[in-house]
Structure 1
């Protein structure tokens, strides 16, 4: 009996018996020839020790995604360019996370992103300078407002004397006036006194 150890799912030939190599426990005594598809040295050794002819069929190497496989020239150039681009982006992002921005040496997308970030950085710098200037202006205006409030509440010393003199004249003439009357209104009342 010809026995074939393989993982195939279809394409079986009549007259041959098929076994799954992963389930091998021991040899089958009535096997006259064995074919092993793949790398199963324990099966080969067991049948050779029993004196059975063993043939080995090598499987083609599987292509693993994510590794450097043999590819055409154009595709390998594209893959290299994408890897360079990715590396440049990683360096740019790592620098930004560290608080620094350095111009990448390669990578079109990374260079464009660097230029855009540079423009944004310059704009933020200008806005910060303008904000600081406006903050100084606001502080100066607040100081002026406070000074004006104080000057409005307390009349100058020479003006206070004039106001007291005007009030004294009005008190002598027994003319009523508001206690917080301005100098101008007191002067008008005194002027009316002199007309009478």
Structure 2
């Protein structure tokens, strides 16, 4: 087997370098060293990588010794439970299951509330703009209909006129006709004087 495997402990996002690009550049295949003990085909010439510096996360250690203030610990637990409950309410509001209300306290719930409020305002603004544009579209459509010339009459609209309507139009144009003329005769006179 060729020695083209780079056994590198994962997760790969913990490295400053783009290890996938490096592996491609060196012609290597990456295998997570944490998931196999086998090192068959391990490459000797592998790129140097460095770990990212992660910010330390504060950790509360309870060792059962008498040095922990039970009241302070209970207060911290109560505060965390209240924040959790506020976050749950905000999630329910985002899902449409409850109204969006300010949580009152807690850094994370207030930040989440502010983010949800911004999103809500953005959506409301988009809806308003959409409605405005729809009104504009309807106005433009009406203007297009108004400006579009009517189709030229090929006589079919005249054919739908009654004898009385034809006589009224002939009278308006000052065209003479016989009282006992038939509809086709009257229509021929009207078409001739269009």
TM-score using structure 2 length:
0.38
Q: Which has the higher contact order (CA 8 A, sep 6+)?
A: 2
Which structure: larger Rg? 1
Structure 1 or 2: more helix by fraction: 1
TM-score using structure 1 length:
0.38
